[in-house]
Chain A
């Protein structure tokens, strides 16, 4: 099974007393194993809705979504979700924060506990396991949030603007780090972002959406010439600027 995520004819409407809003219209795309795909589009075009649909916390109005060949009918352990802010629970220690997903899924056994400790050690947070979130810096907190997501061993990670609450320097450093971790753990990732440079530097493919109701405007395969590709090094690739300008024009931003 090469296709990890398959979105088939998905539409999503929201209903309020003011009326019906079409957020997504007849969306079709699929994502291969190990791929890093970014979704960009104008503000409020339904990007986050798309991630919520794939994660199974909301159901589409019509169409189907398949994850690992199985139709999504609710939240599944094979999909991990990372939100804009770290949302660490202030009343829990770092270790307790990281294991909350396992706790909820009733999988907090010795093996998984060891797996979490291994992750914490590997990514330099083990000494801080008994600290509370407020004692950690913004970048470290976001790393904790990533490990919390990885703890339940998902195949696919949904990243909903996970760096947007960080300051610029931290953002660059953390996105590099997250990218390296995801590649090392061989995860498939879908990133929703406003930051074009971030999208280009991290992704294998970028899907550009139209404004609401969201449809696919274009898909770009990102091929950058640089020796050891990581988000920071590839910013120097000559094609970087070309992709940037092309996608920027497609977004058709008017202020």
Chain B
């Protein structure tokens, strides 16, 4: 009954608009999948017909074989797990520590002014250059890798979150002051909650940066993880292993990003 009524209300034109919109979205989705399939099929055919050298280019069937054998002996899950674990730890510590430092900078304008040039230089400095130093200082352990992940994300976090705090509406702060609010209350009641959207959007950047840090760290430490597999595979010319690891890494990156997106939606809904 209800549906019939609704259909009566919806005009022909609107229906047309809706179907054309649906068709457009479907076309985009199909095209995406077709491109992916085309790349893999072309890659496979080209390798089989020796248009490209499968020894240096690898090929989908070999990647599949590598992945299944790695899945059988469990190494696939161990290395992926190590990378994901390190990324999450680095990401969480980087975000929390970065936000805490941003709060300290907001609290003390004096401190913020002093540290400003240091932050600018640290931000511009390619963090990869610090890798060997950290390796020597901390040693070839998981700790070094996490510190690398931290370094990649923390400076951006500090700068973005601090800027968000600074952009908090002066009049909103004034309003709280008229009620006699102290600095801690101003932070709690207005600066933090109004900065939360920015903090969350930095999460999206941070998770990617942390992953970069982890891979660079694994290149250097060379013990476990997808970064280790890639560097090891490259050194012994096992291109199947390298390609397989990169493929897994792409999936890991996508899943991490989507998880943060999901958290963002959840938090924004709560507000």
Hey, which bits of chain A sit against chain B, CB under 8 A?
Answer: 55, 57, 74-77, 79-81, 83-85, 87, 89-91, 100-101, 103-105, 152
Judging by beta carbons under 8 Å apart, are A74 and B180 in contact? yes
- Tell me which residues across on chain B come within 8 A of A89, comparing CB atoms: 172, 189-190, 193-194
The distance in angstroms between the C-alpha atoms of A89 and B189, with both chains bound, is: 9
Nearest CB of chain B from residue A13's CB, rounded to whole Å: 20
Judging by beta carbons under 8 Å apart, are B175 and A81 in contact? yes
The distance in angstroms between the C-alpha atoms of A89 and B172, with both chains bound, is: 8
The distance in angstroms between the C-alpha atoms of A188 and B171, with both chains bound, is: 23
The distance in angstroms between the C-alpha atoms of A74 and B180, with both chains bound, is: 8
- Tell me which residues across on chain B come within 8 A of A85, comparing CB atoms: 171
Given A89-B190, A89-B193, A104-B189, residue A75 in contact with residue B169 (CB < 8 A): no
- Tell me which residues across on chain A come within 8 A of B196, comparing CB atoms: 91
Most buried by A among B175, B178, B179: B178
User: Is B185 in contact with chain A by the CB < 8 A criterion?
Assistant: yes
Judging by beta carbons under 8 Å apart, are A57 and B174 in contact? yes
22 sampled A-B residue pairs with Cβ under 8 A: A57-B177, A57-B178, A75-B177, A75-B178, A75-B180, A77-B180, A80-B178, A81-B178, A87-B169, A87-B175, A89-B172, A89-B190, A89-B194, A91-B193, A100-B176, A100-B179, A100-B189, A101-B179, A103-B189, A104-B176, A104-B179, A104-B185
- Tell me which residues across on chain B come within 8 A of A90, comparing CB atoms: 271
User: Is B248 in contact with chain A by the CB < 8 A criterion?
Assistant: no
- Tell me which residues across on chain A come within 8 A of B172, comparing CB atoms: 87, 89
Judging by beta carbons under 8 Å apart, are A76 and B180 in contact? yes
Judging by beta carbons under 8 Å apart, are B175 and A83 in contact? yes
- Tell me which residues across on chain A come within 8 A of B178, comparing CB atoms: 55, 57, 75, 79-81
User: Is B255 in contact with chain A by the CB < 8 A criterion?
Assistant: no
Nearest CB of chain A from residue B22's CB, rounded to whole Å: 30
- Tell me which residues across on chain A come within 8 A of B194, comparing CB atoms: 89, 91
Nearest CB of chain A from residue B186's CB, rounded to whole Å: 9
- Tell me which residues across on chain A come within 8 A of B189, comparing CB atoms: 89, 100, 103-104
The distance in angstroms between the C-alpha atoms of A76 and B178, with both chains bound, is: 8
Please report whether the interface of chain A is mostly helix, strand, loop or mixed according to DSSP.
Answer: loop
- Tell me which residues across on chain B come within 8 A of A80, comparing CB atoms: 178
Nearest CB of chain A from residue B18's CB, rounded to whole Å: 27
- Tell me which residues across on chain B come within 8 A of A79, comparing CB atoms: 178
User: Is B181 in contact with chain A by the CB < 8 A criterion?
Assistant: yes
Q: Mark B153-193, 1 if CB is under 8 A from A, else 0.
A: 00000000000000001011011111111000100011001
Closest chain B residue, CB of each to CB of A80: B178
Q: Mark B250-264, 1 if CB is under 8 A from A, else 0.
A: 000000000000000
The distance in angstroms between the C-alpha atoms of A101 and B261, with both chains bound, is: 35
5 closest Cβ contacts across the A-B interface? Answer: A81-B178, A75-B180, A101-B179, A104-B179, A91-B271
Nearest CB of chain A from residue B189's CB, rounded to whole Å: 7
The distance in angstroms between the C-alpha atoms of A79 and B174, with both chains bound, is: 14
Judging by beta carbons under 8 Å apart, are B179 and A105 in contact? yes
Closest chain A residue, CB of each to CB of B186: A104
Closest chain A residue, CB of each to CB of B169: A87
Nearest CB of chain B from residue A254's CB, rounded to whole Å: 30
